[in-house]
């Protein structure tokens, strides 16, 4: 290991920023991811991250701060996925495919038109949490807190609509509203995660902690808590390990998540 000890490591401002932003985003991703996984909508995250790629390109193209463009555009895309699958004789997964492809293509076209920001744009493909700015930390914390607040206050509606949509309707849950709400929350979360693990790996951050939790949990609330703990542990150790071993942080976080999933699976098999 490096000569740098843990105390010194934690004194770096960029490391502190990475931990704060990372922990908030990790909690939101795992909480939301559980609903998506159980609804078989895991790939919504993947589709929306591709849209955020196009949206970030658009921001860079016009010289606007990419987050400001990405958040509204990805939210619109999230609603579009629902509307396309409702109105246009298209299955949900195909709708994700359409929106996702449009996102990537527009990003690539904008990049080739600009002749200048390729490097910037492609840094978003794999993200870099150690490079988050102060503004990005503040933004991540505020938006994550809002998303968490909404998840907590709509917990039972989200749970019921995910468990059995038809039954939820008979208890007065407005399931159409809940579906749109979930998509909008996912959109915000995806944009927040892009900086951390990059466009290519966002969906893993949504999926892996939840499937790990599903190996162990005997109840929904427990699954949500286990997912959050797993996600936060992976982020904290991922940042630390990647720093000392000089590895890409996003990929390290995801690989740790995969290891935790494998351990949970083995534990379930053996226990």
Partner 1 sequence: MTDIISVSNLFVNLGQTKVLDDLSFVINKGDFVGLAGPNGAGKTTLVKAILGLIPISTGSITILGTDHASFSDWGSIGYLPQKISNANQLFPASVIEVVTLGLISQKSWPKRITYSDLNKVEETLKRLDIYKLKNAMFTELSGGQQQKVLLARALVAKPQILIFDEPSTALDPESRNEFFALVKKLNNEEKITIIIITHDTGYIGRYANKLLYIDKKLVYFGGINDFCPPSKDNQYFEKNENHIIWHQHE
Residue span 173-192 as binding mask against partner 1, x where in contact by CB under 8 A, dash where not? x-------------------
CB of 207 to partner 1, least distance (A): 13
By CB under 8 A, is residue 153 in contact with partner 1? yes
Per CB under 8 A, contacts with partner 1 among 213-232 are 213-214, 217-223
Q: Which of 154, 229, 258, 259 is close enough to bind partner 1 by CB under 8 A? A: 154
By CB under 8 A, is residue 91 in contact with partner 1? no
* Span near partner 1 by CB under 8 A; candidates 58-66, 147-155, 235-243, 244-252: 147-155
By CB under 8 A, is residue 159 in contact with partner 1? yes
Distance CA 160, CA 167 (A): 8
Whether 234 contacts 256, CB under 8 Å: yes
By CB under 8 A, is residue 35 in contact with partner 1? no
* Span near partner 1 by CB under 8 A; candidates 19-27, 68-76, 116-124, 158-166: 158-166
CB of 220 to partner 1, least distance (A): 5
Q: Which is nearer to partner 1, 89 or 115 (CB)?
A: 89
CB of 37 to partner 1, least distance (A): 8
Residues with Cβ within 8 Å of 38's Cβ and at least 6 positions away in sequence, in order, are 162, 163, 210
By CB under 8 A, is residue 89 in contact with partner 1? no
Q: Which is nearer to partner 1, 212 or 249 (CB)?
A: 212
CB of 176 to partner 1, least distance (A): 13
Angle between helices 220-245 and 202-216 (to 10 degrees): 130
Q: Which is nearer to partner 1, 12 or 156 (CB)?
A: 156
Distance CA 33, CA 185 (A): 11
Distance CA 104, CA 199 (A): 10
Q: Which is nearer to partner 1, 144 or 215 (CB)?
A: 215
Please give the size of the binding site for partner 1, defined by CB under 8 A.
30
User: From its phi and psi, is residue 63 left (phi > 0), alpha (psi between -120 and 50) or beta?
Assistant: left
What residues line the site for partner 1 (CB under 8 A)?
Answer: 38, 40, 152-157, 159-160, 163-173, 213-214, 217-223
């Amino acid at each position: 290991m490096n000569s740098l000890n843990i105390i010194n490591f934690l004194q770096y401002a960029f490391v502190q920023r990475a931990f704060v932003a990372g922990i908030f985003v990790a909690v939101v991703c795992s909480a939301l991811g559980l609903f998506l996984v159980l609804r078989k909508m895991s790939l919504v995250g993947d589709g929306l991250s591709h849209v955020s790629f196009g949206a970030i390109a658009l921001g860079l193209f016009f010289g606007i701060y990419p987050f400001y463009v990405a958040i509204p555009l990805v939210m619109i895309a999230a609603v579009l996925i629902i509307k396309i699958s409702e109105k246009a004789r298209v299955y949900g997964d195909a709708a994700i495919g359409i929106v996702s492809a449009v996102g990537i293509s527009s990003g690539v076209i904008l990049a080739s038109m600009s002749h200048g920001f390729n490097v910037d744009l492609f840094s978003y493909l794999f993200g870099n949490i150690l490079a988050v700015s102060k503004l990005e930390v503040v933004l991540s914390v505020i938006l994550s807190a809002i998303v968490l607040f909404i998840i907590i206050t709509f917990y039972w509606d989200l749970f019921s609509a995910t468990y059995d949509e038809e039954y939820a309707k008979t208890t007065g849950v407005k399931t159409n509203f809940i579906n749109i709400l979930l998509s909008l929350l996912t959109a915000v979360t995806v944009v927040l995660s892009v900086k951390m693990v990059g466009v290519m790996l966002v969906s893993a951050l949504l999926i892996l902690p939840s499937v790990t939790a599903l190996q162990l949990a005997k109840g929904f609330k427990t699954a949500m808590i286990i997912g959050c703990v797993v996600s936060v542990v992976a982020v904290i150790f991922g940042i630390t390990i990647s720093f000392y071993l000089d590895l890409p942080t996003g990929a390290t976080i995801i690989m740790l998540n995969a290891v935790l999933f494998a351990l949970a699976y083995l534990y379930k098999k053996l226990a």
